[in-house]
Structure 1
Amino acid sequence: MALEVVRAGVRTTVQDLGRPGFAHLGVPRSGAADAGALRLANRLAGNSIDAAGLEILLGGVRLRATRAVTLAVTGAPCQIMVGDRFCDPGLPLAVPAGALVTIGPAVAGLRVYLAVGGGITVPQVLGSRSTDTLSGLGPDPVRDGDVLPIGPVTALPPGVDIAPYPPPAGSLRLRVWLGPRDDWFTSSALATLFAAEYRVSAETDRVGARLTGPALTRAVEGELPSEGLVLGAIQVPADGQPLIFLADHPTTGGYPVVGVVDPGDVDLLGQARPGTPVSFINARR
C-alpha cells in the first residue's frame, strides 16, 4: 500500500515523535512540531502514537491511496475532501482505493497532521522517520510525484463520534521555567519578560520561533561558551529579542538561555502564525 503525492503543498514532511537521546552526538530530537496533534491523528487511524504521518504546512495537499485506507486529519483546521465528499477533521475517514484526498488551506494555525492506518514506513534513521530540516537527517521533504509506503494495519480505528482537540489559539500565554542563565539578565529584564507582550515574527520555522518586542538587557557582558539546548529553550541573542527553540533546534548554542517554556506548552508554538501575541508567566509561582 502507498500514498501517491499528487500535490505536495508549500512544505510537507514525514514526522513521528522524533529521535530523542542523541543530543550528546549532536543530533537534534526533531519530530512533529505539534506532537499532540500527531498523537491524536495516529490514535484515530488505529496506529500506535509514535507512527509516522505527514506534517503539512498551511495545507494545500492532494494525495491518492493505492488501496482502501483509513486516514485521520488533525491540527490546524482546514477543509478536507475524499473524492467529491466533504469530511470532518478529528475522525477516522474511510478512503476507497484510488480516491483523491484533498487537504485545503489551513484557516487558522500553521500545521495540519495526516495519519494513515499502518503508518508511513519510509526508512528509519536513528530509530525515527522524521525529517530534520536543520541537520538533514531523515527523508527529504515530500515532493509532487512521491510515493510514500504504508505499513500493515495492526488495529481497527476507534469508534468515536468526535475527538475534541483545542484549536490554534489566537494568543499564547506560555509557562516559563527560569534558567539556567537568568542571572545574565538584569532584574528589569526579567520583569519585562513576564510583563510585556511579544509577537511571533515572520522568521519562524521548525527550528525556532523568533519573537519581536521589548529587548531583554543583560547584566553580564561578554561571550558565553556553547552549551546544551533543550526543546523550548528561550535563547536571547545580542539584539535582546527572544528566540524559542522548537523541534529541529540545534543541540548547543552560545547565547544565554533565560528560561525554558514548559513542555506542556511547546505544541502551542508549533501552530503559532506570524503576528500571534505571546506572553509569559513564571512557572514557579
Structure 2
Amino acid sequence: MSSTSIITVLDPGVLTTVQDEGRPGFAHLGVPRAGALDVPAAALANRIVGNGPSAAVLETVLGGLRLRSDTGVWIAVTGAPVPLSIDGRPRGVQVPEWVPAGAEVSLGTPDRGVRSYVAVAGGFAVPEVLGSRSTDTLSGVGPPPLVTGQELPVGASVGEIRAHDTPRGPAVGPLRLLPGPRRDWFADSALDVLCAGPYSVLAESNRVGLRLTGERLPRVRDGELASEGMVFGAIQVPPDGMPVVLLNDHPVTGGYPVIAVVEPGDLWQCAQLRPGEAVRFTHRR
C-alpha cells in the first residue's frame, strides 16, 4: 500500500495504538491476537471513509489525541463519543469529516465509554508484522504506542465515502457465558454467584484483561494448574477468587482455572467499561 499522505501525531493522549482485525492464528508461537477491542466501532469507522474491514485505525483511550495531516483527508471517529474539532471548529462523530491540509484534528474527553476509533480514508499504512498492523501491548509485536512527533503514512483511498452509514450498534446487556473447561475446580454455585453480580471494573484493567471485583467465586480445589492454552474471552479466576476476562492482548497460556468464556459477540462491551462501572453476566441454565 503506497502512502499518499502523512499524518503527524501532535499529542498521543493517554494511550493511542494502531489496530486492525488483529493477528489470530499465532498462539502456537506465543503471539496474542491483538486487534481493535471494540470491533463494531472500528468497522463502522472504516466503512464511513470507504475502507475495507482490514484497514488499520487508531484506538485511543479517553481522548486527548491531536493529529495533523500534510494533505486533505477524510476521517471518521467512532466508539466512545468524544468532542471532535478540526482547527478548533466542532465537528461530528460517526460521520465523515473533511480535514484540510495542515488542519489540526483534536479529540476531547468522552463523557462515557473509554476507547474511540479514528479511521482515515486509505487506512494507516504502518508496516505489517505477521500479517497485521496491530499493536500488541503484551508482547510488543507490531508498532509501539504512538508518541508525539511520530509520522503515520496513509494508504491510497479505494472506496466511497458513506455519509449515512450509522447503523444501530449491537445490543448492550449482560455478557453471555459459555461453560469453561475448569468448572469442576469451583463449587456448583460458583457460576450462579458470577451471574448474580454485579461485579465492578478495576482501574488495573487494560487490553490484556478486564479485572473485576465483587463476590468471591468459591473453589473446591486448591493449588494451580500447569499452564494451558487460553482463549479470547476466557474468564480466569486467580487465588483471590476475583474474575478476569481475557481480552485481545491476553497471554496465550495461563495457570488459573477458567470457569467460563464470554460469547465473542459480547466482548466489544469490555472495551468501553470504565473503572467502577458494573458488569453483569448471564448463562443458560
Contact 2:183 2:260 in 1 (8 A): yes
SS of the aligned residue for 1:187 comes to coil
- 1:125, distance to aligned residue in structure 2 (A): 0.4
Q: Which residue of 1 aligns with 2:191?
A: 190
Aligned twin of 2:250 = 249
User: Gapped runs of 5+ residues in structure 2?
Assistant: none
Cα 1:194–1:168 shift into 2, 3 Å: closer
Superposition pairs of residues 39-118 of structure 1, within 5 angstroms: 39-118=43-122
Report deviation, 1:165. Answer: 4.7
Q: Deviations over 1:171-193 (max 9, x none)?
A: x5110111111111001222211
| Separation in structure 1 between the aligned mates of residue 166 and residue 279 of structure 2, nearest angstrom | 27
Contact kept in structure 1, 2:180 and 2:234, CA below 8 Å:
no
Select the residue among 153, 156, 178 that pairs with 1:152. Answer: 156
CA distance in 2, matches of 1:183, 1:164: 42
Match of 2:268 in 1: 267
3-state SS, counterpart of residue 113 of structure 2: coil
Unpaired runs of at least 5, structure 1: none
Shift of 1:25: 1.2
Q: Indicate which of 148, 160, 163 corresponds to 2:166.
A: 163
1:218-273 alpha-carbon deviations (Å, 9 max, x no partner): 11222211111111100000000000011100100000000001001100001100
Residue 63 of structure 1 aligns with an amino acid whose one-letter code is L
Question: Where does structure 1 differ by over 6 angstroms across 4 or more consecutive aligned residues?
Answer: none
Is the partner of 2:269 in helix, strand or coil?
helix
Q: Tell me the amino acid that sits aligned with residue 156 of structure 2.
A: P
Contact kept in structure 1, 2:80 and 2:115, CA below 8 Å: yes
**Alpha carbons of 1:186 and 1:192: their partners in 2 closer, same or farther (altered >3 Å)?**
same
Q: Distance in 2 between matches of 1:165 and 1:106?
A: 19
Q: TM-score, normalised by structure 2?
A: 0.95
The alpha-carbon deviation at position 85 of structure 1 amounts to 2.2
After TM superposition, list the pairs within 5 Å mapping 1:12-27 onto structure 2. 12-27=16-31
Question: For the aligned residues, what is the CA RMSD?
Answer: 1.4
C-alpha distance in structure 1 between counterparts of 2:245 and 2:126, whole Å: 30
Distance in 2, Cα, partners of 1:94 & 1:27: 37
In the alignment, is residue 230 of structure 1 matched against residue 231 of structure 2?
yes
CA distance in 2, matches of 1:99, 1:168: 36
Rounded to whole Å, the distance in 2 between the matches of 1:165 and 1:102 is 26
Residue 200 of structure 1 aligns to which amino acid in structure 2?
Answer: V
Contact 1:179 1:258 in 2 (8 A): yes
Q: Secondary structure at the match of 1:37?
A: helix
Match for residue 215 of structure 1?
A: 216
Q: Which residue of 2 aligns with 1:124?
A: 128
The change in CA–CA distance for 1:268 and 1:274 in structure 2 (over 3 A counts) is: same
Per-residue CA deviations over 1:81-122 (Å, capped at 9, x if unaligned) read 112321110001111111111111111110010000000011
Does the Cα contact within 8 Å between 2:16 and 2:59 map onto a contact in 1? yes
Shift of 1:166: 4.2
DSSP 3-state at the match of 1:255: coil
